[in-house]
């Protein structure tokens, strides 16, 4: 039996998650969503994981969004539940404790782009195309797209893309801040892992608290945000890794972090 989502652990610290439905352009079927939620729970219980990568199988698509073939057989209430399930899964991705990288190996549309938006960073191969195309199908983005896209690229550009259902190239996505990096297709995995390894070499608690401070503070006024940052900083002060970082700096060597 083929698994709709696979998990590979690299260097004991990187969780490499792959959507594995290339025949359906890695569309978000019920089976895939269930598998994704299970893997996310597993990752959150692994103390050794310091960075997560989410990518897709094949060269055509990172994720085409909702499985419209599956949805065509649903009644109205079933469709509503399916949309809610996608939103819950994407929210679970966003709340993974450690940094998450979306590695876009191809097109990302609708729920597929919404999945990428829930990640902390996005790297794309140079021929990928992406967009929130729901208005062309008589619906709207329903898994966070109307909220996360404006926060990432600004409300004006987000409205343009959502209202027109226009698809953008990887290079345009880079220009407007939708992705952080674009690389040639054949270099995507290597470049993604290099990024993940740069992240994973740092102290686990520091990574978690930095993510928490940014995500919680972003929607607050600056003074409230600074209080959030201070609380997160206090958490790092209590760790053995903080002392290891200071000792390694003093001894001019690479630190060995344990997450304690």
Show which residues are catalytic: 66, 111, 114, 134
Q: Three-class SS of residue 247? A: helix
- Answer whether 125's CB lies under 8 Å from 106's CB: yes
The token pair at 153 is 């690229």
Torsion of CA 227, 232, 237, 242, to 10 degrees: -140
- Give the span between the Cα atoms of 258 and 253, in whole angstroms: 16
**Among 90, 76, 80, 117, CA closest to 28:** 90
Q: List the Cα angle 141/174/8 in 5-degree steps.
A: 75
Q: What does the angle CA 65 – CA 208 – CA 96 come to, to the nearest 5 degrees? A: 25
């Amino acid at each position: 039996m083929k698994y709709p989502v696979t998990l590979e652990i690299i260097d004991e610290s990187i969780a490499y998650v792959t959507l594995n439905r290339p025949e359906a352009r890695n569309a978000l079927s019920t089976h895939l969503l269930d598998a994704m939620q299970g893997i996310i729970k597993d990752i959150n219980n692994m103390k050794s994981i310091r960075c997560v990568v989410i990518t897709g199988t094949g060269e055509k698509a990172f994720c085409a969004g909702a499985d419209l073939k599956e949805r065509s057989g649903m009644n109205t209430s079933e469709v509503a539940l399916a949309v809610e399930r996608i939103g819950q899964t994407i929210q679970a991705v966003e709340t993974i404790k450690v940094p998450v990288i979306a590695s876009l190996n191809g097109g990302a549309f609708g729920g597929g782009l919404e999945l990428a938006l829930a990640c902390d960073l996005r790297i794309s191969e140079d021929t990928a195309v992406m967009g929130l195309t729901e208005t062309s199908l008589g619906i709207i983005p329903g898994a966070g797209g109307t909220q996360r896209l404006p926060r990432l690229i600004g409300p004006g550009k987000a409205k343009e893309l959502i209202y027109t259902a226009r698809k953008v190239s990887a290079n345009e996505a880079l220009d407007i801040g939708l992705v952080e990096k674009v690389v040639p297709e054949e270099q995507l995995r290597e470049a993604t892992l290099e990024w993940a390894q740069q992240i994973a070499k740092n102290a686990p608690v520091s990574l978690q608290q930095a993510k928490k401070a940014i995500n919680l503070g972003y929607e607050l006024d600056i003074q409230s945000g600074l209080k959030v940052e201070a609380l997160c900083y206090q958490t790092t002060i209590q760790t053995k890794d903080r002392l290891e970082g200071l000792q390694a700096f003093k001894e001019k060597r690479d630190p060995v972090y344990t997450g304690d």
